[in-house]
Amino acid sequence: MTTLFDRYQLGDLTLPNRVVMAPMTRVRATADGLATGSMASYYAQRASAGLIVTEGVQPSLVGQSNPGTPGLHTEQQVKAWRPVTDAVHTNGGRIFAQLMHGGRVSHPDTTGRQPVAPSAVPAVGEVFTPTGPKPAPVPRALATAEVPEQARSYAEAARRALDAGFDGVELHGANGYLISQFLSSNANLRTDAYGGSVPNRIRFAVEAVTATVDAVGAGRTGIRLSPGAGIWGVQETGIPELYGALLAELAPLGLAYVHLEATTDEEILLGLRAAWPGTLVVNPAFPMGPVQTDKAAAVRWLGLGADLISFGRAFIANPDLVERLRQDLPIAETDQQTWYAGGDTGYLTYPAYQHR
C-alpha cells in the first residue's frame, strides 16, 4: 500500500516522500519584488517536504496581484532568489516556483498599471493594495494580438526561475487568476479564438503551458487547477467537459504533474484522475476553507489514485510537518493574523516539535 513516506520519481527528481508544500502567499518580499534572507530561511526550514512549491511569483509587472509578492521578471529578482534555492538545496530539498499572473485580480496602486484580463469584467471583492483593500478595478480587455505575449510571460519567467536555481515551475491556473479567468464563462466574454467554446477557453492555458515546456522542458513544468472553485467571482460552465478537454490537450506534453485542488464534486475529480495519465498532486482542502488538509485526508486521496498530496496551512506552523505526520505528532495551530503581516513573527518563529 502506498504511503505518504514512500519515495516518488518526479521527472529527474527523486522525492524522498509524497508530501508537497503547497503554494501560499506570505507577502514577505521587498517592494520591488526581491526575495529576502527571511524567505530563504522560511523555505529552508521546510525542505524535508518531498517538494516545495513557492508562493505565487509574478512573471511580469502587470501580472503582479498583491503588494509584497516576489517576481521573476528582472535580473535583480533572479539574483535575489538564488540564496533561497541554495538554502533549500543545502538542506536537501527540492523547490518549484509557482508562476502567478493575477490578471484582473490586481490594482494600479500596486503596479502602476491597469490590470489586464480576457474581458473588461472586474473581479468580485476587494483586492490588496499598498494602502489597504480596495474594490477590484475594471481591467483592460487584452486585444487578440496581445494574448500570446501574456502566455509567453510564463515561459520567460520559467527560464529565469531555472537561472535562479529552481528545480522547475508550476503555472498557477487556479483560484481566479489569469489562466482561470480565460477558462471562465463569466470572466471571459470574448468572441475571438480565446473565448466562447471550450476549445477556445482552454487555448490560453494550453499556449502558456506549451511555451513553458518549450522553454524549460516538460519534466520541469506543472500546472495547478481548481475546477469550479468560484474564487474572485470566476464561474465555469460544463466543468467535466472543460477540464477534461484541457487535460486531453496537456497530456501529450508529458508534464511533471497536474496539481488539483478539491474544489468540485469528488466524482468529477475522480474522473479527472482517470483522464490524466501522468503524475497527479491533490490538495484535499478547499482554499481558505474551514478545514485544512490532515493526514487522514491525505491517506484517503492516495487510496483514490493521487500520487502526491499537497499541504498548505499545516506547513505554516509546522516546518517539520513531514516528521510530525510520520510520527503522528500534534499539528501546531497557525496564527492567521500573521499570514500577511510581514516580518519574521509568524513566519520564522514556529519551532520544530519539542520532544519531552
Question: What is the 3-class SS of 73-127, one letter each residue?
Answer: CCHHHHHHHHHHHHHHHHCCCCEEEEECCCCCCCCHHHHCCCCEECCCCCCCCEE
Give 349's pLDDT tier (boundaries 50, 70, 90): very high
Q: Which domains does the chain have, with CATH numbers?
A: 8-338 (3.20.20.70)
- Which cell numbers hold the place of 301? 486521496
Whether the per-residue pLDDT at 249 is higher than 90: the answer is: yes
pTM of the model: 0.97
Q: What is the three-state SS of 11-57? A: CCEEECCCEEECCCCCCCCCCCCCCCHHHHHHHHHCCCCCEEEEEEE
Residue 232's pLDDT is what?
97
Q: Cα separation of 116 and 133, whole Å? A: 19
pLDDT in tens, 118-165: 999 999 999 999 999 999 999 999 999 999 999 999 999 999 999 999
Q: Cα separation of 80 and 168, whole Å? A: 17
Q: What angle do CA 239, 176, 35 make, to 5 degrees?
A: 135
Q: What is the mean pLDDT of the chain?
A: 97
Would you call 350 a catalytic residue per the annotation? no
Cα of 83 vs its chain's centroid, Å: 21
Q: Is the CB of residue 182 less than 8 Å from the CB of residue 204? A: yes
Q: Cα separation of 219 and 94, whole Å? A: 14
Q: State the chain's maximal CA–CA distance in angstroms.
A: 64
Radius of gyration for the alpha carbons in the chain, expressed in angstroms and rounded: 19
Options 42, 43, 177, 194, the catalytic residue: 177
Give 3's pLDDT tier (boundaries 50, 70, 90): very high
How would you classify the pairing of strands 13-15 and 8-10? antiparallel
Q: Cα separation of 290 and 3, whole Å? A: 26
Q: Work out the average pLDDT over 234-258.
A: 98
In which residue are the cell numbers 501580472 written?
63
Give 1's pLDDT tier (boundaries 50, 70, 90): confident
- Which cell numbers hold the place of 230? 468560484
Whether the per-residue pLDDT at 286 is higher than 90: the answer is: no
pLDDT in tens, 48-82: 999 999 999 999 999 999 999 999 999 999 999 99
Q: Work out the average pLDDT over 186-206.
A: 98
Cα of 163 vs its chain's centroid, Å: 20
Whether the per-residue pLDDT at 288 is higher than 80: the answer is: no
Residue 186's pLDDT is what?
97
Q: Work out the average pLDDT over 324-341.
A: 94
Whether the per-residue pLDDT at 212 is higher than 90: the answer is: yes
According to DSSP, the residues that pair with 116 across neighbouring strands are 140
Q: Cα separation of 163 and 109, whole Å? A: 30
Q: Cα separation of 244 and 232, whole Å? A: 23
According to DSSP, the residues that pair with 281 across neighbouring strands are 259, 308
Q: Return the amino acid letter for 51.
A: L
Give 292's pLDDT tier (boundaries 50, 70, 90): confident
